[in-house]
Amino acid sequence: MLLSRRTAVIFVVLSILLTQLALAHGGSKSPAVGTIKVSLDNGMLNLDAYNASLHDVLAEIAERSQIEIKYGEALPYRVTLSTRNLHLEDLLRKICPSFMLIDEVGDNGAISRRLYLFSRASQQATNTPNNVIRAAAAGGSTREGGRDRVISTVASSQDDSSGSSKHRPAEYRPDELLVRFRPDLEPEQIEAFNALNGATVIKKVPALSMYQLKLPDGSDLTAVQKTYQDSPFIEKVEPNILLRLPQVTPDDKYFEDQWALQKMMVPEAWTITTGSPSIVVGVLDTGIDAKHPDLIHRIVDGYDIVNQQAGIPEDDQGHGTQMAGIIASEGQNGIGMSGVSFNCMVMPVKVLDGNGTGTAADVAEGLTYATDHGAQVVNMSFGSYGHSEMLNDAVQYAYQRNVILVAGAGNDNTDLPAYPAAYPNVLAVTATGPQDEKWPAANFGSHVAVAAPGVSILTTAVNGGYLYGTGTSHAAAMVSGVAALLKAKNTQYTNVQIDKLLQTSADDLGAKGRDSTFGAGRANAYRALTSSP
């Protein structure tokens, strides 16, 4: 028989008022409140319940059917129902609108049946038949060629700090989702739900309770995402958005070496502090050239998120080495150049691959890693026009732990918000030239906090060399260096105070006061260090 000598686990997650089905008794006296009678006849269940606790009804069903029940939450509901000759799943359907049924094969070949009962906690939950989940898991669609593709619906104005309703298409991984399950769920429930949809876990970021899931080849990402979104098990679900380095070629023009330091009055700031080895700047990027003579003594261990390797991640692209050099290239060593905060340390966290591409999942993990391992400042010189809730959660996780967050505004000469720069509590930096003019390709908009030199910036290159680079990436690294100087001057400064100092001490450019081109103005290191928060 189907139900005899078989054990299944029912995790009950109910948060709705269940429909009470009235039992007509003619002129006879109604049963006593709380009456429950469950019987099992040839594998079929019979139930008589009158105004009975759902908890007690399920307990009786469990006893008769040899089923273990584990309650995910309180069940403050009552049931009135009389029914005969029902299979277990049909009876559960009477008292719970939706459930998930999974057959499992044990090591000894025995098949057991696991049942999960879903709540219908809000009107957002679907009213579709129970087999909709199975259909979504098994369903397929044509898949566009290539690892990544473009979708226009991912980019959203829901957190558009510029106030613009415009957006650009965002790129994403077509076979991956980022998911946050309800915190009260058991690991077995999460595993079963993923298995039902054919999803496997690539990794979990515990700090964010975020799962990165891989879907079967040929899956319809939109359909599977909706299945997750409609489930009461899920708090958040979204595609795994791609973030990229700005498309700028290193500049070969030779201005006066490190003109940007003079423009920002960094040498004057060095009379107050040149930084401290106790101040660590997390550089979320492509890695670092750990053998570079101007960086070798300025590096603490980081992590390679892309390849999941501990230690100092190798830079197979070059951009991360450039950012690290601007921030903390060693000064007063008789070679090369000086970083803005040349006595501070950098923590390289590789979140972008050799093509300069990363995902929201990797950046979110990298940001939480840097936060949890002591970075007081984090530089993020990359971006996407797609908004990721999971990445925003990582940003707020870091900010709530007193991390100063700096990001390049983007190199497309647009006022569209690029992320992470446009997330709340991130200092979005645009780029200026030697005459304090806006660099023509620099992004702008109301989300821009400050400007900094970003044209022909001397910095370190892979293989021990040097180059001149241009872009808001370089401007952001300049500001990260000043933020590190402020933290070194007074370790008690909070990220709120340092954000404020960087903006209130900036040299006003363009229209008087804050504007959408330069934000609060071009950063001034000396004025920042001699101002009070």
- Determine the residue type at 240: N
Render 119-146 in DSSP notation, one character per residue. P--STTS--S-TTHHHHHHH------SS
Whether residue 484 contacts residue 503, with contact meaning beta carbons closer than 8 Å, is answered with: no
Q: Assess whether 447 carries a catalytic annotation.
A: no
Of residues 160, 285, 289, 499, which has the active-site annotation?
285
Q: Which helix (H) or strand (E) holds 468?
A: strand 465-469
- Determine the residue type at 335: I
Beta pairing partners, 180: 236
- Determine the residue type at 430: T
Tokens of 422: 């446009």
Whether residue 407 contacts residue 285, with contact meaning beta carbons closer than 8 Å, is answered with: no
Find, among 201, 403, 358, 373, the residue nearest to 303 by Cα: 373
Question: What is the C-alpha to C-alpha distance for residues 56 and 36, in angstroms, rounded to an integer?
Answer: 8
Q: Which long-range contacts (CB under 8 A, 24 or more apart) does 505-512 make?
A: 505/531, 506/450, 506/451, 507/436, 509/432, 509/436, 509/451, 510/438
Find, among 274, 25, 44, 231, the residue nearest to 120 by Cα: 231
The gap from C-alpha 342 to its chain's centroid, in whole angstroms, comes to 31
Of residues 162, 338, 473, 505, which has the active-site annotation?
473
The β-bridge relationship of strands 98-105 and 111-118 is antiparallel
Q: Assess whether 473 carries a catalytic annotation.
A: yes
Render 308-373 in DSSP notation, one character per residue. TEEE--B-SSSHHHHHHHHHHPPPSSSSS---TTTTSEEEEEE-S-TTSEEEHHHHHHHHHHHHHT
Of residues 167, 292, 319, 447, which has the active-site annotation?
319
Q: Assess whether 319 carries a catalytic annotation.
A: yes
Question: What is the C-alpha to C-alpha distance for residues 8 and 115, in angstroms, rounded to an integer?
Answer: 7
Find, among 374, 364, 371, 365, the residue nearest to 280 by Cα: 374
Question: What is the C-alpha to C-alpha distance for residues 181 and 191, in angstroms, rounded to an integer?
Answer: 11
Q: For residue 479, give the 3-state DSSP assignment.
A: helix
Active site residues: 285, 319, 473
